[in-house]
Amino acid sequence: LIKSGGGDTLNASIRAISYYLPEQILNNDQLAAIYDNWTAEKIFEKTGIKTRHIASEDEYASDLAEKAALLLFEENDINPEDIDFIMLATQSPDYILPTTACILQNRLGIPKSAGAIDYNLGCSAFIYGLALSKGLISTNICKNVLLIMAETYSKHIHPMDKSTRTIFGDGAAAILVSMNEIDGINEFILGTDGSGAGNLIIPAGGMKLKNSNDTIIDVEDENGSIRSSQNLYMNGPEVFNFTIDVVPKTVNDVLIKNHLSMDDIDLFIFHQANQFMLNYLRKKIKIPEEKFYVNIEQTGNTVSASIPIALRMAEKEGRIKKGDKVLLVGFGVGLSWGATIIRW
Amino acid sequence: MRSVVKVPDNEKIALLEEMLDLDNGTLKVETKLDAINNWDSMAVISLIALFDEYAGETITITQIKELVTIKDILDLWNSAMGSND
């Protein structure tokens, strides 16, 4: 690692990724038992998911983040003393304040000279984290960013909401983005459409609609799912419409911006939303199956952590090797999206 | 990326049956969507995908909410393709 004050190349690359999944598991048999007319097979067929890892009642985003970071340090022989910035994405923080990343500075033994911030994004967060890390490194503000994606959406989900509980799983990924001789993180395309803010939302619990006796009232929707205003709400069809509109354009735009064609890309890794959506996007964009990574069977959709977890899994499976060009796309809550091409 | 595939009505119905995991011949033009067991939010997403793939057209949730029978889906599909074949 290039230490603080060392040689300045102003290039950034991903040096290492580790991830942590909580021990508790929720499988399709358990879900089929409580949802009328659903079988374990149907859930698997529609989502591509067999199990999701769920944080225990007293296990929070900071705990998942800490475990993922400790694994990152251990597996890659990284000294926490060398970290000079902590950047953490979560939408299920331990507290409204203070910032989770500040708590982690202390718990991980990272020097007090390090900067620390949280930012609030979901399925696009990893792409934004890479963009911000690259910005900090290329302007010589820091050299070793500990980027963490830590999410416990299960705490927001009503047990009887089929539309979200079948899909989302908890998990955290820790990524070391460092100053490097090699320019490993290339050009970005980012985008936002706040008109779709209501399509993925937890309406209550912020300042606008404070939690009260009214916000805990359960309501059954037209599909038989139950939730209150304090739970996660996802309008699946609207999110799907947004995705099939935005993702193909974004892939095209990021290729143009990087002066590359589809053939130049060794592997495409999209946010691991669900099997149906990923298959449809792959067909629509005409990506060959062998160049498209899907692995959500055991994890479910882990929101911001899904792309780095998939990257690490793909590396372990030998699907990516040093020097490969990997095209990454994140998309979701906001609505927000982003894409980049990395050199592994 | 837009592509339009012309499909006759009987094949459209077969595609809808496949989409809903139903046996061939289950759906009639007059079949009411409410009466179909598998007509849920996942089916709505599948219908959006089907229209996008075959008609090259994005359909809105408002349009889907107005659908009552299989015939309404066929009408919307045909108007999306700008033809009545």
pLDDT, tens digit, for every residue of A305-341?
999 999 999 999 999 999 999 999 999 999 999 999 9
Name the residue with higher pLDDT: A5 or A15. Answer: A15
Distance between A71 CA and the closest CA of chain B, angstroms: 37
Average pLDDT over all residues of chain A:
95
For residue range A210-266, list pLDDT tens digits in order.
999 999 999 999 888 999 999 999 999 999 999 999 999 999 999 999 999 999 999
Is position A301 annotated as part of the catalytic site? yes
Contacts of B48 in chain A (CB under 8 A): 237, 240-241, 244
Q: Inter-chain contact A236–B64, Cβ cutoff 8 Å?
A: no
Q: Is the pLDDT of residue B1 over 50?
A: no
- What is each CA distance from A37 to A26, A31, A159, A224, B32, in whole angstroms? 19, 11, 16, 11, 19
The two structure tokens encoding residue A114: 């390090």
Instruction: Assess whether pLDDT exceeds 90 at residue A297.
Output: yes
For the stretch A103-128, pLDDT in tens is 999 999 999 999 999 999 999 999 99
CB-based burial label for B6 (10 Å; 0-12, 13-18, 19+): exposed
Shortest CA gap B81–chain A (Å): 18
| A284/chain B closest Cα distance in angstroms | 8
Chain B contact present for A80, CB below 8 A: no
Provide the pLDDT for residue A284: 94
pLDDT above 90 (res B37): no
What pLDDT was estimated at residue B85? Answer: 45
Taking only the tens place, the pLDDT of each residue in A173-193 is 999 999 998 899 999 999 999
- Is residue A265 within 8 A of residue A291, CB to CB? The reply is yes
Of residues A37, A163, A276, nearest to B37 (C-beta): A37
Look up A53 and say whether it is catalytic. no
Encoding tokens for residue A118?
């949280």
Over residues A34-53, the pLDDT tens digits come to 998 889 998 998 899 999 99
Write phi, then psi, for B25 (nearest 5 degrees). Answer: 90, 0
Is residue A335 within 8 A of residue A123, CB to CB? The reply is no
Determine the pLDDT at residue A295: 93
Please report the ipTM that was assigned to this predicted complex.
0.83
Residues of B in contact with A195 (CB under 8 A): none
pLDDT tens digits, A139-171: 999 999 999 999 999 999 999 999 999 999 999
Facing A241 at nearest CB: one of B1, B41, B58 = B58
Q: Are B49 and A236 an interchain contact pair (Cβ–Cβ within 8 Å)?
A: no
Spatial separation of the C-alpha atoms in residues A278 and A41, rounded to whole Å: 19
Q: Grade residue B71 by pLDDT with cuts at 50, 70 and 90.
A: very high
Arithmetic mean of pLDDT, A282-302: 96
Q: How confident is the model at residue B84 (pLDDT cuts 50, 70, 90)?
A: very low
pLDDT exceeds 70 at position A4: no
Q: Is the pLDDT of residue B83 over 60?
A: no
* Min Cα–Cα distance to chain B from A289, Å: 18
pLDDT band at A2 (very low <50, low <70, confident <90, very high): low
Does the beta carbon of A262 lie under 8 angstroms from any beta carbon of chain B?
Answer: no
Which of these is catalytic: A53, A123, A158, A231? A123
Which among A53, A144, A271, A274 is annotated as catalytic?
A271
pLDDT for res A11: 94
Give the burial string for B71-82 (b: 16+ CB within 10 Å, else e).
Answer: ebbbebbbebbe
Name chain B contacts of A236, Cβ cutoff 8 Å: 41-42, 44-45
Q: Give the separation between CA B83 and CA B85, rounded to whole angstroms.
A: 6
The residue-averaged pLDDT of A57-85 equals 98
- CA-nearest of B6, B38, B37, B27 to B72 is B27
Q: Which residues, 6+ apart, have CB-to-CB distance to A27 below 8 Å? A: A40, A50, A51
Pick from A37, A236, A284: CB nearest B45: A236
pLDDT at A246: 97
Compute the count of residue pairs across chains A and B with CB atoms less than 8 Å apart: 42
**What was the pLDDT predicted at A7?**
54
**B1: chain A residues, CB-CB within 8 Å:** 248, 284-285
